[in-house]
Chains A and B, each alone.
Chain A
């Protein structure tokens, strides 16, 4: 069912029930998954607009390039590890296994929290080095974009913590399967966003 085929059908000619229990044009996916995809598109638009602003602002004469703190490589490693663990816990829960579920699931969340802490430590180092928000536009963008990324991750951690409470209070892994699947997608998305951000921030 392509979009073109859909919008060229003649609804006044076709009578009777079309399709099975689900009408044509419905995605065979959970509503939450469809909603997440839309949300990711919106988040992509937000980050893209910031990036466009970044590049437009960069062309103005007062721009001072910023040398990225080396610590960001370490932070990136934390986020990669968090994403990998999430993928692991997703694979476990999809196969209805429970072995290593706690390790991978809680490990993923803890690493994500560590990432945020590490980002804040980097902020502190920058502040100590005299790089304040208002010192120059490159550093302002740095604080803004890393802060925004961290906020998105905190939003993800909120869902993660709800799952964690479910799991620790004796919930079956099946109850949180969808949440873990969707969190994994979200984590990979945020990892991708971070890599792109890191690349453009380093590329002043």
Chain B
């Protein structure tokens, strides 16, 4: 079987049309259904992560107010919150959810290249989530080692969940890596091989560029996590000493000898740092498209945006040790990693300038997605600037493991991507569901989330400067921490509870609008990219009806001078644009 371009292929060749309800909604091979399964499961897992964070925030704000939050539970909640949010919520929602939904639609394909593999991916993800959640129900509970799972403490008595909990965590992560690899191969090959006629790489919307590079990062970075998990599993279950040094447990020497805990840290962060960008790059892409559509302007510096995405992706593999400044390393390494870390600020800042310049003199429509997108620019700048502090060895050392770090990474890779997720969900909701969400409710949701996020994380910077350490169940009587720090902690907790509760608005809006929402126009925002040009809304199985679209232009023809409308869809040829212009211009029709 030789290579056949997508546009030449027999239209029904790859399509496996579902015959029953179960095939259509459960064992579905349709990328849109899989996207919703992936996204839904990620959101459900994310809710668990959110509730855990509120529980340990109660302990921090109002010590011992919730009677089952003891020190063990506190550590378990912190650990599971971190791992769930980073891996099972953000990664799965951006790549599994948005990746699956957007890639074929934005590229003008009928589905992913390997629909069956795609289905396997989502079910494998479900298995990994079930294994993860099972750890709440085993003896000893889930692991409480911190989401970084540093040995040797991870597997030693005294750490909650050091027996069954950590094993389930490692197995779940390994299964997740398998699920991600199946999905990731699909996204990459689909983006390379299944673009419709005329869709060159440089005509792809930035969403696709973000998803593409993030997936490549994931495919290269997740193996490091897999390797670390396998070796730690061997140490835990089979008694090898890859990571475990000679160590005493309650005064008794354990059977380990000579292993290197630092080796684990290197492997973990070789995954862990690119992971930040696995989450951030799809967010960068999605927000670029939302900003451009609602500002009625082409994205400023499209090519630079693409280069920046690629450069960030490349650089993200040579900065990992900036997470390990306090682990001890050769000072020259510290210098190297500090330098690369600061260099990564260049393409990142470039993206921020381009977003701002996209807004400049745009015909801005302040719809709810635009609120969230502009909110993202704020939180991302603030979170990014503190990254410049922490990237320097000498500033990082005193701030390491304080609330300053917590504030930094929550703003930059927690709040910022989540604001983009809300922007993207509101923006594409009309296409996905065929109905409009409630605009007022969405804006109320925005203000609670945006202002609430600042109420939570701005004071944390100050706590960090005071030297308040992260991951402590209780602060005790410490001279350098004033009593007022506790008041600040209480206020943070109150803000967190309000933000948490305000997310109910989002769910009411999204679920309620399915039934009561106004019927949506196929292209309510006047967007130019392909996913808005489908013959049906929501798109049906196969996406494009009889014929695949042909692309004649890039995805950002907004407010083109002289054009009849303020946007030209990607699949409209130049001749039609000229005809529409002539029909409209007064000289030609004699008005």
Using CB atoms and an 8 Å cutoff, list the residues of chain A in contact with chain B.
6-12, 15-31, 34-35, 38-39, 41-42, 45-46, 49-50, 53, 56-57, 60-63, 133-134, 137, 140, 144, 148, 177-178
Contacts and interface: CB of A to CB of B under 8 A. Distances in A.
A24 B202 CA distance: 9
Contacts of B303: 7-8, 10-11
A86 B192 CA distance: 29
A33 to B, nearest CB: 8
A167 B231 CA distance: 40
A23 B195 contact: yes
- 4 cross-chain pairs, A with B, having the tightest CB-CB distances, nearest first: A62-B258, A22-B5, A134-B239, A11-B554
B553 to A, nearest CB: 5
A28 B2 CA distance: 9
B188 A20 contact: no
B259 interface: yes
A137 B219 contact: no
A22 B239 CA distance: 54
Given A19-B198, A137-B259, 4 more contacts: A6-B201, A11-B302, A12-B557, A53-B242
B242 A140 contact: yes
Given A7-B306, A11-B202, A144-B231, A137 B258 contact: yes
B194 interface: yes
A62 B260 CA distance: 11
A12 B554 contact: yes
A23 to B, nearest CB: 5
Nearest to B1: A178
B199 A16 contact: no
B192 A22 contact: no
Contacts of A22: 5-8, 197
B332 interface: no
Contact of A12 (B195, B239, B556): B556
Interface stretch (B222-230, B382-390, B503-511): B222-230
Interface residues of B, number: 63
A25 B200 CA distance: 6
Interface in B494-546: none
Given A6-B201, A27-B192, A56-B263, A49 B239 contact: no
A60 B230 CA distance: 20
Given A21-B197, A137-B240, A26 B1 contact: no
Given A34-B192, A60-B260, A134-B255, A23 B197 contact: yes
B192 A42 contact: no
Contacts of A19: 197-198, 200
Given A23-B198, A56-B260, A49 B242 contact: no
B574 A16 contact: yes
Contacts of A56: 260, 263, 266
A6 to B, nearest CB: 5
A61 B192 contact: no
A53 B267 contact: yes
Given A42-B223, A63-B258, A9 B202 contact: yes
B181 interface: yes
B227 A50 contact: yes
Nearest to B255: A134
B68 interface: no
B267 A31 contact: no
B583 to A, nearest CB: 19
Contacts of B7: 21-22
Contacts of B6: 21-22
A46 B241 contact: no
Interface in B215-269: 219-220, 223-224, 226-227, 230-231, 234, 238-242, 255, 257-260, 263, 266-267
Interface in B288-324: 298, 302-303, 306-307, 310
Contacts of A29: 3
B224 A31 contact: no
Nearest to A134: B239
B199 to A, nearest CB: 5
28 contacts: A6-B200, A9-B200, A10-B303, A11-B200, A16-B552, A19-B197, A19-B198, A20-B5, A22-B8, A23-B195, A23-B197, A23-B203, A24-B200, A24-B201, A31-B189, A35-B114, A38-B219, A45-B223, A49-B227, A56-B263, A57-B260, A62-B241, A62-B257, A133-B239, A133-B240, A137-B240, A140-B240, A148-B230
A54 to B, nearest CB: 10
B193 A31 contact: yes
B423 interface: no
B567 interface: no
Contact of B231 (A24, A53, A62, A178): A53
Given A16-B574, A31-B189, A42-B219, A53 B263 contact: yes
A50 B234 CA distance: 13
Contacts of A134: 238-241, 255
Given A23-B196, A23-B200, A38 B3 contact: no
A166 to B, nearest CB: 14
B4 to A, nearest CB: 9
B482 interface: no
A24 B553 CA distance: 13
B224 A49 contact: yes
B113 interface: yes
A22 B8 CA distance: 8
Given A9-B202, A25-B192, A57-B263, A39 B185 contact: yes
A7 B306 CA distance: 8
B550 interface: yes
A202 to B, nearest CB: 20
Given A26-B5, A31-B113, A140-B240, A42 B220 contact: yes
